[in-house]
Amino acid sequence: MTVLVTGAAGFIGFHVSRALLARGERVVGVDNLNDYYDVRLKEARLERLAAEPGFAFLRLDIAEEGSIAALAGREPAIDRIVHLAAQAGVLYSITNPAAYIRDNIQGQHVLLELCRCLGRLRHFVYASSSSVYGGNRKLPFSIADRVDEPVSLYAATKRADELISHTYSHLFRIPATGLRFFTVYGPWGRPDMAMFIFTKAILAGEPIRLFNYGNMRRDFSYIDDVVAGVLAVLERPPPEGDAAPHRLYNLGHHRAEELRHLVELIERATGRKAIVELAAMPPGDVPETFADIEASVRDFGFAPRTPLEEGVPRFVDWYRDYHGL
């Protein structure tokens, strides 16, 4: 059978596709290769996937209903979907909100309609975000927490995705699971994330900005741990007997790290000293994220194993190798 991975040229999509291929699955990858960040990085990821037996790539826009609906006829063996394609980034949602409504909400709807067309789908797993917790002050963030006060449009679209998916699951018996990712990082990571931005600047001798005057904490999740979680979830759809076979889980490391500690680790891995500038909190951002992963551990054995002290050097090594430094 076949797994459809949307956003296959993206950071998490690339790693999930590689892991599926490594265990002998056939993967159909979909991506529109938009220019939110350097397309050459996406193309380099795809080049490596294309070298793997069992991988097929289609350049498609997930928000274009006709193109995605045609997959049901073109790839009738699809029995599982990992939907990771989305317009990412909190700050960009302030300047280009239309992209988030289109790609995140309309795109989610189009993929759920594809699930209906496929009929026999075993599981629809999709990306949500820790951003849905908004300004919640209770830590760690739990799946049981209320999430009806988002502080960014990006967060609002991800919460909308969860609600729409729950409704489709209830009405059409689509087994679906949403995963709230917490600051995923690692080799082949996104250039708009702090790990990439800080490493690039420190190696170039350029200043970095620490928001909220450095008083920020993040639950950094290493990519290999997250991928293991995604694959474990994929094989465990919600029970058919549920009123709505739809569940939500956190995928994080269950540890909130000081942003200053991240900078120290990058300094150590690069052998360079950071030039630090302190700045106010930008709109839509939050001072701390921290995942409660009790349900993920209980239901599918999620076990994050990579501490930041190991993950940061791995990222820096990849960054240097990729850029020939």
Catalytic residue among 100, 126, 133, 154: 154
Strands 217-218 and 207-210: unpaired
Instruction: Tell me the residue length of the chain.
Output: 325
Q: Is 154 a catalytic residue?
A: yes
What are the strands of the beta sheet with 246-251, ordered from one edge? 55-59, 26-31, 2-6, 78-83, 123-129, 176-181, 246-251
Q: Which of 92, 311, 22, 71 is nearest to 189 (CA)?
A: 311
Q: What are phi and psi of 128, to 5 degrees?
A: -110, -155
Is the bond preceding 53 in cis, omega lying within 30 degrees of 0? no
> Would you say the C-alpha torsion 127, 141, 36, 189 has a positive or negative sign?
negative
DSSP element (H, E) containing 164: helix 153-172
Contacts of 126 (CB under 8 A, 6+ apart): 81, 82, 83, 84, 108, 111, 161, 165, 176, 177, 178, 179
DSSP element (H, E) containing 217: strand 217-218
**Residue 15 CB: number of other CB atoms within 10 A?**
22
Contacts of 269 (CB under 8 A, 6+ apart): 312, 313, 316, 317
Separation between Cα atoms, residue 298 and residue 302, nearest integer Å = 8
Q: Which residues are catalytic?
A: 154
